[in-house]
Amino acid sequence: MIKKIKASQSEKVILLFLILLGFFVIASFVVIKDKCLFVKNHNPKKINFKNPENIAILNVPCGNVIIELYPNISPNAVIRFKTLIKSNAYDNVAFHRVIKNKLVQAGDLEFGEKNKLDYGKIGTGKSGLGTILSELDGEFKYTKGSVGLARTFKNDTEDSQFFITLQDEPLFEGEYTPVGKVIYGLQVLKKLKYLDNSEYVLRPDFINTFKMFN
């Protein structure tokens, strides 16, 4: 006959402690693993837009970034941006340059695509549509969430690469062609992968899709 042994008070406490510890380990593993856990994902279909024809939806690993484009400020740049978005050119393209709390940059269609990523040349690629002229005369404040076209050292070299600012950047005014502003989902961009010691990201995050709302 097997004798039943009652757990002592201290053994019960230890057991409870181990159960709680196990719970916290599993819970924290889930939280740490899922960087998107506390990020709100905005559903554009639930939002009423004033100018739906100028709304673009950038979908990245943690959700949607909803951008309003400003054709009245930079007409040619917005036409170029819309052309590339409508042709799905930005899908699966890397956020190759990410500076924590400062800006994220993507849109290298030549060397930034998921299956053709070229770390040696990323940031120098072209769209094949040619460059466009800088549009720097419109009144535009580079506040947090501003979207602009990247360029080389010289003006009038804008092509497909774009950046989104994560903080106010007044010095960008008159330097970079603006195309719009993030109206929802800036938090999503703060979760993109970055490196502490480099602006350029190894094994970067990618754009899932980039589409016009209408």
Partner 1 sequence: MRLFTVVLLAFVFIIPVKANTIYQLIKIPNLEIYELETQNKLKYFYASKPFRLGVQKNIVCFNSDRKILDQKYQLINKNLNRYSANFLKKINLKYIVLCENLSISEINTAGIPDNIMKTLILDVKFNENYFERVIHHEVFHVINDSYKSFFNEEEWIKFNNKNFTYAECSTCSKRLGLDTYKNTEGFLTEYSKSTASEDMAEVFSHLMLKIKKSKFDPILQKKITFIRNNILKIDNNFKF
- How far is residue 149's CA from residue 156's CA, in Å, rounded to a whole number? 11
Question: In degrees rounded to 5, what are phi and psi of residue 200?
Answer: -95, 140
| E-state strands within the chain | 55-60, 63-69, 97-99, 103-106, 146-149, 162-165, 178-184, 209-212
Residue 154 neighbours by CB distance under 10 Å: 8
Backbone φ and ψ of 43, nearest 5°: -100, 110
Q: Which range, of 55-63, 69-77, 190-198, 206-214, touches partner 1 by CB under 8 A?
A: 190-198
Shortest distance (Å) from residue 97 CB to partner 1: 10
Name which of residues 120 to 179 contact partner 1 (CB under 8 A): 120, 169-172, 174-175
Give the nearest distance from C-beta 202 to partner 1 in angstroms: 6
Is 115 a residue that touches partner 1 (CB under 8 A)? no
Say whether residue 197 binds partner 1 (CB under 8 A).
Answer: yes
Q: With binding defined as CB under 8 A, does residue 39 bind partner 1?
A: no
Identity of the residue, 41 or 198, whose beta carbon is nearer to partner 1 in the bound complex: 198
The answer to whether residue 99 forms part of the interface with partner 1 (CB under 8 A) is yes
Closest CA to 193 of 113, 124, 104: 104
Q: Site for partner 1 (CB under 8 A): which residue of 129, 200, 212, 213?
A: 200
Q: What is the DSSP letter of 139?
A: -
Burial class of residue 6 (count of CB atoms within 10 Å of its CB; 0-12, 13-18, 19+) = exposed
Q: Is residue 195 near partner 1 by the rule CB under 8 A?
A: yes
Mask 66-95, x = binds partner 1 (CB under 8 A)? ------------------------------
For partner 1, the binding residues (CB under 8 A) are 99-100, 102, 119-120, 169-172, 174-175, 195-200, 202
